[in-house]
Amino acid sequence: MAVQSVDVFSPVSSGHPLDPLSPEEMRRTAEILRTDRSLGSQVRFVSVTLREPTKQEVRQHGDTGAACERAASVVLYDRGAQQTIETVVSLTEGAVTAWRVVDGVQPGVMLEEFFSTEEITRADPRWQEAMRRRGITDFSLAMIDPWAAGYDIEDPLGRRLIRPLTFVRSGPDDNGYARPVEGLVVLVDLDLMQVVDVRDHGVVPLPEKAGNYMPELMFDGDNRPAHTAVRSDLRPIDITQPEGPSFTVDGYAVSWQKWRLRVGYTPREGLVLHQIGYEDRGRVRPVVYRASLSEMYIPYADPAPTHRIKNVFDEGEYGIGLLLNPLQLGCDCLGEIHYFDAVANDQDGQPLTIPNAICMHEEDYGVGWKHTDFRTEKMEVRRSRRLVISCFATVGNYEYGFFWYLYTDGTIQFEVKLTGVISTGAIPVGEQPRFGTLVAPGLYGPHHQHFFNVRLDMQVDGDGNSVYEVDAAALPPGPDNPYGNAWIAQRKQLTRESEAQRLFDPFVARTWHIANPSSVNELGQPATYKLMPGDNVLPLQQEGSQAWTRAQFAYKHLWVTAYDPAEMFAAGDYPNQSQNAGGLPEFVKADRSLDDQDIVVWYSFGAHHVVRPEDWPVMPVSYAGFHLKPVGFFDGNPALDMPRSTPACHAGGAPVDGSAAGPVAE
């Protein structure tokens, strides 16, 4: 975790009510709480984030410049009283304006707990004895990953728990995941900061082969024979924009081409986009008011003791925003880059900064549209371009890249890039794993899945939106289909929350349309954006499993709810150690109307990972996500006004002027 203390006021502030908290504001929040409530050292700051003003307040600020109250939402944990506390601090008034004890919940794991778990585990005599049984006496080589505890029927009730797993390094930079300590499961009480249970389910020999990926360690004779040296035949690719980027940035406000939006951040969600709109004929038309990742859930399919416990909510149990990487020019991002720092909090409530946490740049995206008139041999072609706003989070062994793309044709795309190192298991040499794939002698990667839910507070040309499910439907033979070729796009409105819990169906090309019935184009069609699913799966965990009990959001691909600012997370506010399905299943019990309402669309999508040998020792990136595309939002192709590109080609060839498109006779 590359974070550093911030001692100065952040210069990046436009004074907008949706700007993230500055370091000064975060520091002031802690001061107010300590003074007002006389907080002792046992009270720890779990999260400090902006309390976002209401939509009406933000709208009034935009219309009249009226000031909004500046406030912080804070989650505290009183370790002595074992209480979770939600509080609101008004920075405008300099006072605590709300204080509520939330019973029966555990907030997410704090960074100080995460790092303390390793030392607590390493010092435990029972854990040490288990390591000696495996021939390990230098305990400094142990690498201990704190996994969220989930729940187990044998766990002590009412205690704040974490369940670390152990791996062994051969040196500081060695890939410890090459040598998992199979069968050793530890339970740590984070209030008492002590190990409360050690279960050793039997010794499995540590795999012998290294799994290093750093060049200075890869070629020491202990890696695969196919890898003998770093490639030497790659020539540089330079991304240049001699006149600078096409975007402008004012604080957190971004303008690019005809797109307008604001960049935001929270310690739990990480990257947030606010007020995404498109300028059309001189008017900025809203599309999405707020877009964010609302939850991640990763269940494993191996029933072995070391792996059945792997059922983690990476956002709700850890906080994706706390785990963002400082990005590096030329490595994570190419070209003309604008970076945004992220400001989080430590457990004393003091600001921490993650420099260059969010990257923004432009990318050429190939041909945007093209046509050749073969009669006149005249050709028109336009390049597509996209604005990329991204970040990367390291969650233990895995890396997740979160990428928002805005395109010149009005399309919005969200993509998750999955890479990093698989969470491994050990097996006796010569055996084959049933619930995973062998990646090295005695080493396997268990089957698992990754589920993501994105919360889209939609605002398609205004607050009043309706949702339709659209399927391709073949007509039965008869007068309407005399030749057997006819099919239609069949629309069904989802009018209530009880109806708007849907599954993707690729066999009928199912999409979901978010339409504004009060805004129509010149053809009389409602302004619409459609959600286009990408590859998707469902959880395979059955009723009675932790996934079924705790992650109900993943069992439906689409949920739609009436807007409620308190409903932010698909698995609820506190999934850590939860034993029930919070979040969306609770939200929709109200069965509110969705007809011409202020609505929120929640989309769940999954990545199904049957591990390959090619995923070891570090995984090539895989992708998952979705698109939002305009349907009748514009009167025609919004990228029609893209300028012609300058004709050019590679060195050594003749430039093409675009006037002759057909074959040339010789």
Strand partners, 561: 600
- Is the N-terminal amide bond of 617 cis, ω within 30° of 0? yes
Question: Which of 292, 285, 515 has the alpha carbon at shortest distance from 410?
Answer: 285
Cβ–Cβ under 8 Å, residues 427 and 441: no
Pair 199, 93 in one domain? no
The whole-angstrom separation of Cα 287 and Cα 527 is 10
Strand residue runs (E) in 66-124: 71-78, 83-90, 95-102
- Is 54 among the domain residues? yes
What pLDDT, on the 0 to 100 scale, is given for residue 255?
98
Q: What is the pLDDT of residues 551-599, one digit of tens each?
A: 999 999 999 999 999 999 999 999 999 998 899 999 999 999 999 999 9
Q: Are residues 144 and 214 in the same domain?
A: yes
Cα–Cα distance, 538 to 450 (Å, whole number)? 10
Closest to 454 (Cα-Cα) out of 314, 291, 652: 291
SS3 584: helix
Q: Is residue 545 part of a domain?
A: yes
Whether residue 414 sits in one domain with residue 548: yes
> Does residue 394 contact residue 387 with C-beta atoms inside 8 Å?
no
By the 10 Å C-beta count (0-12 exposed, 13-18 middle, 19+ buried), 68 is classed as middle
pLDDT of residue 217: 85
Is residue 593 assigned to a domain?
Answer: no
Residue, of 219 and 655, whose pLDDT is higher: 219
Domain assignment present for residue 369? The answer is yes
Res 221: pLDDT: 56
What is the rounded CA–CA span in Å between residue 484 and residue 224?
A: 57
Residue 532 has pLDDT above 50, yes or no: yes
Task: Report yes or no: 280 and 638 within 8 Å, Cβ to Cβ.
Answer: yes
Kindly state whether residues 78 and 214 are assigned to the same domain. no
Specify the DSSP element, H or E, that contains 28: helix 23-37
Instruction: Give residue-wise pLDDT tens across range 2-13.
Output: 444 333 333 334
- Please report whether residue 479 resides in a domain: no
Co-location of 120 and 97 in the same domain:
no
What mean pLDDT comes out for the span 207-228? 76
Which amino acid, residue 532? Answer: M
* Range name among 414-418, 491-495, 656-660 with the lowest pLDDT average: 656-660
Q: How far apart are CA 398 and CA 393, in angstroms?
A: 8
Burial class (CB in 10 A: 0-12, 13-18, 19+), 373: exposed
For the cut 90, the answer to whether the pLDDT of residue 430 exceeds it is yes
Query: Which strands, in side-by-side order, build the sheet including 436-440?
Result: 425-426, 443-446, 436-440
Provide the annotated active-site residues: 314, 398
Predicted local confidence at residue 230, as pLDDT:
86
User: At residue 47, does pLDDT exceed 70?
Assistant: yes
Beta strands in 174-228 (DSSP E): 184-189, 194-200
Q: Are 23 and 8 in contact (CB under 8 A)?
A: yes
**Coil, strand or helix at 606:** strand
DSSP string, 262-293: EEEEETTTEEEEEEEEEEETTEEEEEEEEEEE
Beta carbons of 168 and 122 less than 8 angstroms apart: no
Q: Is 339 helix (H, G, I), strand (E, B) or coil?
A: strand
Rounded to an integer, the average pLDDT of 431-436 is 97
Total residue length of the chain: 666
Residue 224 confidence (pLDDT): 54
- The β-bridge partners of 239 are none
Q: What pLDDT is stored for residue 222 in this prediction?
A: 56
3-class secondary structure, 321: helix
Q: Domain end: 67, 85, 102, which one?
A: 102
Tokens of 247: 């975007």
- pTM of the entire structure? 0.94
The SS3 of residue 416 is: strand
The answer to whether 7 and 41 are in contact (CB under 8 A) is no
Average model confidence (pLDDT) across the chain: 93
Give the range of the structural domain holding residue 42, as residue numbers without chain letter: 4-102
- The model's pLDDT over 85-112, given as tens digits with 9 standing for 90+, comes to 999 999 999 999 999 999 999 999 999 9
How does 471-496 read in b/e, with b if 16+ C-beta sit within 10 Å? beeeeeeeeeeeeeeeeeeeeeebbb
Q: Compute the distance between CA of residue 30 and CA of residue 32 in angstroms, rounded to an integer.
A: 5
Count the domains in the chain. 3
- C-alpha 463/C-alpha 290 separation (Å) is 12
Q: In this model, does residue 665 exceed pLDDT 60?
A: no
Distance in angstroms (rounded) separating the CA atoms of residues 344 and 350: 8
d(CA 123, CA 195): 9
Q: Where are the beta strands (DSSP E) in 536-618?
A: 558-562, 599-609
Query: Are 297 and 170 part of one and the same domain?
Result: no
Q: State percent of the chain over pLDDT 70.
A: 94
Q: Which two tokens stand for residue 378?
A: 């005249």
Q: Is residue 523 part of a domain?
A: no
| Same domain for 419 and 537 | yes
**pLDDT band with cut points at 50, 70 and 90 for residue 223:** low
Cα(205)–Cα(212) distance, rounded to whole angstroms? 19
* Predicted pLDDT at 648: 65
Is residue 299 within 8 Å of residue 547, measured between CB atoms?
yes
Give the pLDDT confidence score for residue 2 in this predicted structure: 44
529 pLDDT higher than 90: yes
CA dist 498 and 569 (Å) reads 18
Give the lowest-confidence range in 255-264, 350-359, 541-550, 601-610.
Answer: 541-550
User: Is the confidence at residue 268, as pLDDT, over 90?
Assistant: yes
Contacts for 279 with CB less than 8 Å, ≥ 6 apart? 258, 259, 260, 285
Element (H, E) at 312: strand 311-312
Identify residue 156 by its one-letter amino acid code: P
pLDDT for 658: 46
Give me the CATH number covering residue 115.
3.10.450.40
Using one digit for the tens of pLDDT, what is the confidence trace for 111-126? 999 999 999 999 999 9
Distance separating alpha carbons of residues 107 and 361, to the nearest angstrom: 35
C-alpha gyration radius of the chain: 27
Write the pLDDT tens digit of every residue in 346-404.
999 999 999 999 999 999 999 999 999 999 999 999 999 999 999 999 999 999 999 99
Give the strands of the sheet with 184-189, arranged side by side: 142-148, 161-168, 184-189, 194-200
Same domain, 120 and 90: no
State the pLDDT at residue 1.
43
d(CA 261, CA 253): 6
Residue where a domain stops, chosen among 102, 123, 140:
102
Query: Which range has the worst mean pLDDT, 62-66, 274-278, 410-414, 600-604?
Result: 62-66
Neighbours of 246 (CB within 10 A): 13
Q: Which of 199, 218, 237 is the last residue of a domain?
A: 218
Nearest of 308, 199, 315, 294 to residue 576 by alpha carbon: 315
Taking the CA atoms of residue 628, residue 632, residue 637 and residue 639 in that order, the dihedral angle to the nearest 10 degrees is -40
Rounded to whole angstroms, how far apart are CA atoms 371 and 420? 42
Q: Are 316 and 414 in a shared domain?
A: yes
Rounded Cα distance, 144 and 167, in Å? 6
Pair (377, 261) in one structural domain = yes
Q: Is residue 434 part of a domain?
A: yes
Please indicate, yes or no, if residue 226 is contained in any of the structural domains: no
Give the pLDDT mean for 643-656.
62
Given a cut of 90, whether residue 226 has pLDDT beyond it is no
Q: Say whether pLDDT at 659 is over 90.
A: no
Query: How far apart (Å, rounded) are the C-alpha atoms in residues 343 and 616?
Result: 34
- Running DSSP on this structure, what letter comes out for residue 646? P
Residue 617 dihedral angles phi and psi, to the nearest 5°:
-90, -10
187 SS3 class: strand
pLDDT range class, residue 153, cuts 50, 70, 90: confident
Tell me the DSSP string of 427-489.
Answer: --TT---SSEEEEETTEEEE-EEEEEEEEEEE-TTSS-BEEEEEEEEEPPSBTTBTTS--EEE
> Do both 203 and 332 map to the same domain?
no
Same domain, 304 and 375: yes
